[in-house]
Amino acid sequence: MNYTNYKGKIVERFGVALNGWPCKCLVSNPNKVGGHIELSKLLHALQAKCCKWSKLSEEELQEHKSVNMDCHKSGEIIYKPHHKVGSARNKAHTLAFASAETIELDAGDNDDIDSSMEHDIDSSVEHDIRMAAT
């Protein structure tokens, strides 16, 4: 999951937010939230569904974008730059990924994507927590 650009790449792009984050720090890689106690809190919150993803309404999404843009204009780093892609293989992968984003879906497909994306992100966060705990 893209923890570094959470506000721009997750919240703004997918219109979802992680609510109930139990750690003192902002949403970040579980490897960087602190020690065992913080990781345990996070894992428990995810398993108990106290910390979960919610879909933002159009108004909430526009508010997030507006606040993020204001913070960015005032000097806070919201939209962090991408790492430069070095090899031809990585460039091809980047182009393929960018092309996949342009695929249009039928309106009925959105529910499957929302639940699938939520499951994938939850699995990614739990995997990161387990890796950080080892």
Query: Domain extents for the chain?
Result: 6-133
Q: Which residues are 68's β-sheet partners?
A: none
How far, in Å, CA of 112 to CA of 117, rounded?
A: 8
Instruction: Record the pTM.
Output: 0.57
In terms of Cβ atoms closer than 10 Å to its own Cβ (0-12, 13-18, 19+), residue 52 is middle
Mapping DSSP to helix (H, G, I), strand (E, B) and coil, where does residue 53 land?
strand
Q: In this structure, what are the phi and psi dihedrals at residue 19, rounded to the nearest 5 degrees?
A: -100, 145
**What string of pLDDT tens digits covers the 134 residues of the chain?**
778 788 888 899 999 999 999 988 888 888 888 888 999 999 999 999 999 999 999 999 999 999 988 988 888 877 777 666 555 555 555 555 554 444 444 444 444 445 555 566 666 766 766 666 66
pLDDT given at position 110 = 45
Q: In this structure, what are the phi and psi dihedrals at residue 17, rounded to the nearest 5 degrees?
A: -140, 150
